[in-house]
Chain A
Amino acid sequence: MAMHKITVTVNGTPHSAEVESRLLLVHFIRENLVMTGTHIGCDTSHCGACTVLLDGEPVKSCTVLAVQADGRQVMTVEGLEQNGTLDPIQEGFMQEHGLQCGYCTPGMMMTSYALLKRSKQPTEDDIRHAISGNLCRCTGYVNIVKAVQYAAAKQQ
C-alpha cells in the first residue's frame, strides 16, 4: 500500500504524518491524532456523526480520504471552545437540551456551526434542512432546532 506524507491543520495546529492512500479522514482524526470527539455512525455518508469542517465547509469525514485533506484546514468539535469559552452552539445544545446520548452531537454541532457562519438568522425550515444530513435517534430534533436558534440569537 502506497504511503503519503501529509500535513493537515486541525483546529489551527498542523499535524504531519505518513498515511496509507486509503486511510479515511475520520480515522486519521480519531486514531492518528487521538481526537475522539468526531464519531462514526454509518458507512454510507448518511448519518453525519463524522461531520467536520474542511476549509470551513461541513464534510462527512468518513467519505474523505486523509490525503485529500493534505494542506487544508480541518475543524472538529474539539475546536469549538476557545480559551475556555464555549461556542454559542455548544451553549445552545446544553441550554435547550439538544442532546441525549451525545453521539450525533459533535457532527450536529459542526453542521449547525457552519450554517450559522453563512446565515445569521436562519428560519426553522432553514435549520431543519441544514441538519437533514445529520441523523439523531434520541431527540426528535425539536430541541436541536431550538439549540441552533439559541446560538443564532446569542450571536446577534
Chain B
Amino acid sequence: MAPKTTAEVGGMGHSIKRKEDPRFIRGQGHYVDDVVLPGMLYLDIVRSPFAHAKITAIRTEKALKVPGVLAVITGETLKQYNLHWMPTLMSDTQMVLPVEKVMYQAQEVAGVIATSRYAAADGVEAVEVDYEPLPVVVDPFKALEPGAPVLRTDKKDKKDNRIFHWEVGDRAATDKAFAEAEVKVQQDMYIPRIHVASIETCGCVADFDRVRGKLTVYMTTQAPHAIRTVVALVAGHVGLSEEKIRIVSPDIGGGFGGKVPVYPGYVIAIAASVVTGHPVKWIEDRMENLQADSFARDYHIHAELAAKKDGTMTAMRIKTVADHGYTDAAANPSKFPAGMFSICTGAYGFKNAFAEVDGVYTNKPPGGIAYRCSFRVTEAVHTIERMTDVLAQELKVDPADLRFKNFIPPDQFPYHSVLGWDYDSGNYAGALKKAMDIIGYAALRKEQAEKRKKGELMGIGISSFVEIVGAGPSKHFDILGIKMFDSCEIRVHPTGKATARFGTKSQGQGHETTYAQIVAEELGIPAAHVEVEAGDTDTAPYGLGTYASRSTPVAGAAGAMAARKIRDKAKKIAAYLLEVSEDDLVWEPGKFSVKGAPQKSKTIQEIAFAAYTNHPQGMEAGLEAVDYYDPPNLTFPFGSYICVVDIDRGTGMVKIRRFVAVDDCGNIINPMIVDGQIHGGLTMGMAPSLLEEISYDENGNISGGSFMDYLLPTAVETPKWETDKTVTPSPHHPLGAKGVGESATVGAPPAIANAVVDALAHLGVRNIDIPITPEKVWKILKEKGVAE
C-alpha cells in the first residue's frame, strides 16, 4: 500500500531515519548511569552465597570503618519502616532485604552506602554475614512432592510449594477426543530458564528532597507510571505520596521485559536517599544482573496431540510445571497467571484443547517474566510448533503439508479459538507459501534427500506462529488492578509544531520516530515537527508502559485517537476561517479544503495558529487532546519462518545456513524499523535455541552467572537474516497495525529446533530440548553411530 503522506511529512509507510539517532551516534544518549547529582552517594549490595540459609548474624562494624562508607542498611533497618518486604506485580511478596533467611543464591542481604562506587564495593567486602544452610529445593517436580521442605515459611497457612494451579479449556471433551483419536503423539519438552541480558544493566538514582518532600527516581524502567503507583502503595505509610513521587525513565539500554519488575536495589536506594537526604545511585554489575534479576521461561511441558489418519488435528492436551523461583514476581496481567499460554492452539483449527499449568516455588531468583515475549507466548508457540512436527514425523508427511491442512482459513476471521481468544485477522497459508517460495522449499527437500544418501546432515524447519499482543481490553486485563489502557497527549503549538507525550517508554524500539509518524499520518504535521516525549511521570499521561509488544497496539492507537480529536477541533476552526459549514470540508493529510473549491483551504499549521490567535467565539482556545485508549481486542500478528541447518558430524555444531522470516504485523508504520525489530527478535530467538541457558546444581549454585558462560550471540554466530512480509491489517486497530517487537523471538526457536530435529529425524530423533548445543548434538550423533 502506498503511503498516504509525502516523504516530507513522513507518515505511515515511510522509512524515515530515526529521530533518536543523532544523540546516540555522538555518545550523547542519557542513560541512568549518566545521571550525576550534587552530593550523590553510591549503593552497593551484599549478596548471599547460599541458595537457602538462615541468617544468624550480620556484622557491619568493619564495613563502617572502611573509608567513605557511611551506612549499612539491613533487613532490620527496613523492618523499622515495614519496608523489608514488598508486593510483586502478581500480588505475591518479595523480600527487599531479609531478616530471617535467604531464598536464592545472590539474593540481596545488605546495602552499603558510600561516597564513591569503589568505597561502596570495599564496604560490601567488609560486611560479615553468618549463615546456617537450609535444605535447597531446586527441582520443581521435587518441590511438589509430599514432604518437600515448605519454602515460603513467611506465609502462615502455606503447606506446600504450589503457587497456583491454572487450567483452561474443556478437560472432559478433550479427554474424549483423545480416547477416540486415530493417531496420538506426546512429547516432554523443557524450555529453559534464560535471562534478557540487556546490554545496559538495571539501576537508579533516587533523590529525596527533604524540604519539598518530593522523591525523584531516575530508573531503568519500562513502566514508569506503574512503578510510581507501586512506590506510593509500598511506601505510602512512611509519607511518600503519589503526587510527590516522580519516576523518570531516561534513555534505556534495552529492556526486553527485564526492566518491568521492581528490584530490591531500587527500593534500597530509595530508602537510603530518604534516610540520608542525599541522592543515591545504584547500578548493578553484570553478574548481579544475570544472577538476581528476574528470569524468563523455565517451563516443563508435557504435550499431546490427537489427529485423524489424514492429518487433521483434533485435540491438544498440555500439562506444565512452571518454576517461578521463590516468589511469583512475573509481570502477567492479574487474571493470567500463565500469561497468554492459551494461545497454544496456534494457527490451527482445533475443536478440543485443554491446558493446565502449576506454578511452583523453588530456591531460585524470581522467574516468569518476559524475554522479549508477551506473557508466555514463546512457550505456547514452541509447544504447538514442535508438536506439529512430531505429528508430521509420526504420520510420515511433510511438515508444510500438515500445516496447510490444519491452518485456520482466511475466510474464518475473526476466529474464535477453542481456548477463548478472538483472533482478529490472519492469512497463515499465505505467509507460509511466501516463505517456501523465497527459500525454495521443494529444491531444499530434494537436496536434503541427496545429502542423506551421502551421510550429510541437513535439516529444514518451519514455524508458523501466531502472536497475541496489545494487552489489553480493560474487561480482562489489569496489573495490580490498574487497567491495561495506554495513553497519548498531543499539544499542537501556535506555529504548527507539536509535542506528543505517551504512557509507554521506548527502550530502543524507536518510539520517538514511529509515534511522530502516527501523528504525521493523522494530522499531516511533518514527523520532523513532532517531538515525542515519554518516561517522565510528571509530564507524560498515565500508561502501563512498554512490554509485551503493546506500544503500537495500545499507545500507538491512543496517538491516532488523540490526533483525530485534534482534527475534529481543527475542522471546526477551518470551517470558521473559511466561512463554510463543517460538512463542506474535505480532509487530506495536512489541510482542510472546501468541497468543489480546492483552492479555498487551510493548512493544519494555519489552523493551529488560529487556535491561539483567532479561534471562534465560544470555543476554547488551544489545540490539544488526550486519549486513554482501551483496546477492544488484542492483536494477533503472525508469520512463517523457515530455517535451514547443516550439522557438523565431527563437532555437533549446528550452522544456520539460511533463515527466511515472513512476518505479518498488519499495517506498517516504518518499514526500516520493523525490519530492525525482526532482525533483533530473530537473534533473541536464536539465542535460547542454540546458546543461552541458566541452570543450577543441586545446591542451587547458578551456572551461567556471567558473560563468561552465559553466551549471547555475537555477529559471528548470528546468520544473515532474510526478511519479507505479508500485510493483513488488524480490523479493530485505528491504524490497522498489530505490533512486531516480539514476533520473531516467539517464532524463531521452533523453526531452529525443527530444523535440527529434521536433520536427524531419519536416525529416529524426535525432539531435542533447547538450547541445542554442540555437546547435545554430538552425544546424539555418537549414540546413533554417525559421529565423525
Task: Give the interface of A toward B (CB within 8 A).
Answer: 20, 22-23, 27, 30-31, 34-44, 46-47, 49, 76-78, 80-81, 86, 90, 93-95, 97, 99-106, 109, 124, 127-129, 131-145
Contacts and interface: CB of A to CB of B under 8 A. Distances in A.
Given A43-B706, A94-B17, A137 B25 contact: no
Contacts of B117: 27, 31
Question: Which of B508, B510, B706 gathers most chain A CB within 10 Å?
Answer: B508
Contacts of B675: 97, 143
B150 interface: no
B509 interface: yes
Contacts of A140: 676, 679-683, 718, 721
Given A99-B24, A137-B196, 5 more contacts: A39-B31, A41-B200, A77-B27, A95-B17, A140-B718
Where chain B touches its partner, the secondary structure class is loop
Contacts, number: 179
A107 to B, nearest CB: 9
A131 B718 CA distance: 12
B36 A34 contact: yes
Interface string B31-50: 10110100000000000000
B508 A39 contact: no
Contacts of A131: 714-715
Contacts of B141: none
A43 B287 contact: yes
A138 B254 contact: yes
Given A137-B256, A141-B715, A37 B199 contact: no
B95 to A, nearest CB: 25
Interface in B5-37: 17-18, 20-31, 33-34, 36
Interface in B81-129: 117-118
A122 to B, nearest CB: 12
B252 interface: yes
Contacts of A47: 199, 286, 707, 712
A156 B600 CA distance: 52
B251 A102 contact: yes
A41 B289 CA distance: 10
Nearest to B252: A101
Contacts of B173: none
A105 B25 contact: yes
A115 to B, nearest CB: 12
A36 B25 contact: no
Contact of A103 (B118, B254, B286): B254
B318 interface: no
7 contacts: A42-B707, A47-B707, A77-B27, A101-B200, A101-B508, A135-B712, A143-B675
Nearest to A45: B707
B199 A136 contact: yes
A127 B706 CA distance: 26
A142 B27 contact: no
A78 B718 CA distance: 29
A136 B715 CA distance: 8
Question: Which of A27, A47, A93, A145 gathers most chain B CB within 10 Å?
Answer: A47
Q: How large is the interface on B (under 10, 10 to 19, 20 to 34, 35 or more residues)?
A: 35 or more
B719 to A, nearest CB: 9
B644 interface: no
A44 B706 contact: yes
A37 B28 contact: yes
Interface string B658-682: 0000000000000011011001111
B197 interface: yes
Contacts of A34: 36
B464 interface: no
Given A41-B199, A94-B22, A143 B679 contact: yes
B27 A138 contact: no
A139 B24 contact: no
Nearest to A130: B715
Interface string B243-263: 000000001111010000000
A141 B718 contact: yes
Contacts of A132: 714-716
Given A97-B18, A101-B254, A132-B715, A139 B706 contact: no
B510 A100 contact: yes
B715 A143 contact: no
Nearest to A105: B24
A89 to B, nearest CB: 9
Given A42-B286, A102-B20, A139 B680 contact: yes
- 5 closest A-B pairs by beta carbon, nearest first, are A37-B27, A101-B508, A103-B253, A102-B24, A140-B679
B708 interface: yes
A128 B716 CA distance: 6
B508 A90 contact: no
A59 to B, nearest CB: 17
